[in-house]
Amino acid sequence: MKIFFRNIHLYLSLVSGLIIAVVCLTGAVLVFEKELEQAWHPERYFVKPEQRPALPLTLLSSAVTHYKPGAKISGVKIYTDPTRTVEFSLAGSSPEGGKKDGQKSEGSSAGHRETKASGPAQEVAARSEGKGGKGGKGEGGPGGPKVFVNPYTGAVTGELNYRETFFFTMMALHRGMVGGPIGKLVVGVSTVMFLLIIGTGLVLWWPATRKALQQRVKVKWSGGWKRVNHDLHIVLGFYSALFLFVFAFTGLAWSFEWFNKGIFAITNSPMQRPEPPVSAVPTGAVAALPQAAPAAPGLSPDAVLQLVLRQVPQAVYYSLQLPKDASASFKVATLRRGAVYENATDEMFLDQYTGKVLSQQTYEQRNLGQRVRGMFKPVHTGAVFGWPSKIIALVVCVLGFTFPITGTIMWLNRLRKANKKQRKLVGAVA
């Protein structure tokens, strides 16, 4: 029976090994993407706090439009941390904390590539999950850049166009986006193969005796290079198998729509969310307002922010999505301190003319499918328990990159051994 499982393990590994190695390597790079991004460009994300209050959003918005003439601001994200800059999303991109899990973006524009100063790769990965679970649409990230502004001086501290970054390349490779729909399918199928490889690998690892067990839980560093290579594959493969299985399983949510549909079907939860509520347009306002002018002559973002602050005074951040036309509403997402995970946001819709709360929903009020689907991202990226789980994810992803290599070396060694044995048999017969 083990020969059967060994053959499955071998041939699936030969077919998908290169893809698995690339996915694991790029995944390792993306684990600390947020931290690396902030370390490389601290001026973009952090400022020296000042005693004076932050400037109104109206003035900060003017600084953005002055910096980028003709730009249309679609959203703004304000942190309560006094050392953080204010993030403005320009037209084509959506501020984080928008639609919910199970849609096209977790905490973003719908239900990959993250709050708490989340990295852009996590944001793009989230945005491409698919509205109502329809993954694949919207891949490639936000359509516009983000502009970062010092809240005390109004100075623009930086701009981020994610498509031009190193991490976008890593994310595109990780998800197979470089190959379009076919590339994404190849990564998805390879991930399914990887799950089977892990399962058959555990069957092959299972020891028959206690002595064999001792040999399979410890690397024999004193052995020859072939034995060390064997142990690196077998022993470390055992220790990392559970983590790799979880990472691979959750990764399927970004590859297959049927997988996301299955989550909502199993949890008996609706996948499609209701349309956002609309503002009560004052008489004559429709004729007076161009469709592209979202807020005027209604409430300003400053007024909306003050209304939200009175209801949610101690959030980690406030993300405002501005109305897109005269009948749309303000959408505000807030992250409570001690939230379950970084995109476990509460949201509300406010009338753009009166500030009346049209609807609101806390994280706990999301349906079970949305909450389960929402956990996939922090689990997949290793962010679910903060730094400890991220370190584990980094180590496991690096090991995942090495297994196709050590496994190939084991296979080649077996071929050489078999060929040598065959030559001896032929020589003996002759």
What local confidence, expressed as pLDDT, does residue 116 receive?
Answer: 38
Decide which of 171 and 128 is more confident.
171
Same domain, 82 and 139: yes
Q: What is the mean pLDDT of residues 386-411?
A: 96
In a domain, 375, yes or no: no
Same domain, 398 and 348: no
Q: What pTM was computed for the model? A: 0.83
Q: Of 313, 339, 367, which residue is a domain's last?
A: 367
In a domain, 87, yes or no: yes
Counting other chains too, the contacts that 153-157 makes at CB distance below 8 Å and 24 or more residues apart are 153/55, 154/55, 154/59, 154/60, 154/62, 154/63, 155/63, 156/63, 156/64, 156/67, 157/43, 157/44, 157/47, 157/85
In a domain, 38, yes or no: no
Least confident of 52-61, 97-106, 193-202, 346-355: 97-106
In a domain, 43, yes or no: no
Least confident of 7-11, 291-295, 328-332: 291-295
Same domain, 235 and 207: yes
Express each pLDDT in 333-372 by its tens digit: 999 998 988 889 999 999 999 999 999 999 999 999 999 9
Domain of residue 61 covers 50-157+271-367
Same domain, 94 and 137: yes
Express each pLDDT in 238-280 by its tens digit: 999 999 999 999 999 999 999 999 999 999 999 988 899 999 9
Say how many domains are in the chain. 2
Confidence grade of residue 92 (pLDDT, cut at 50, 70, 90)? low
Answer whether residue 376 shows pLDDT above 70.
yes
Q: Of 367, 394, 417, which residue is a domain's last?
A: 367
In a domain, 379, yes or no: no
What proportion of the chain, given as a percentage, has pLDDT over 70?
A: 84
What local confidence, expressed as pLDDT, does residue 104 receive?
Answer: 42
In a domain, 32, yes or no: no
Same domain, 153 and 279: yes
What local confidence, expressed as pLDDT, does residue 424 receive?
Answer: 78
What local confidence, expressed as pLDDT, does residue 136 receive?
Answer: 36
- The overall average pLDDT reported for the chain is 86
Same domain, 305 and 238: no
Same domain, 185 and 230: yes
Q: Of 367, 400, 421, which residue is a domain's last?
A: 367
Answer whether residue 296 shows pLDDT above 90.
no
Confidence grade of residue 297 (pLDDT, cut at 50, 70, 90)? low
Express each pLDDT in 197-221 by its tens digit: 999 999 999 988 888 898 899 999 9
Same domain, 242 and 281: no
What proportion of the chain, given as a percentage, has pLDDT over 90?
A: 73
Q: What is the mean pLDDT of residues 56-70?
A: 95
In a domain, 298, yes or no: yes
Same domain, 61 and 134: yes
What local confidence, expressed as pLDDT, does residue 298 receive?
Answer: 84
Confidence grade of residue 237 (pLDDT, cut at 50, 70, 90)? very high
What local confidence, expressed as pLDDT, does residue 285 receive?
Answer: 54
Same domain, 152 and 286: yes
Same domain, 15 and 97: no
In a domain, 380, yes or no: no
Same domain, 147 and 203: no
Cα 135 to Cα 185: distance, rounded to the nearest angstrom: 12
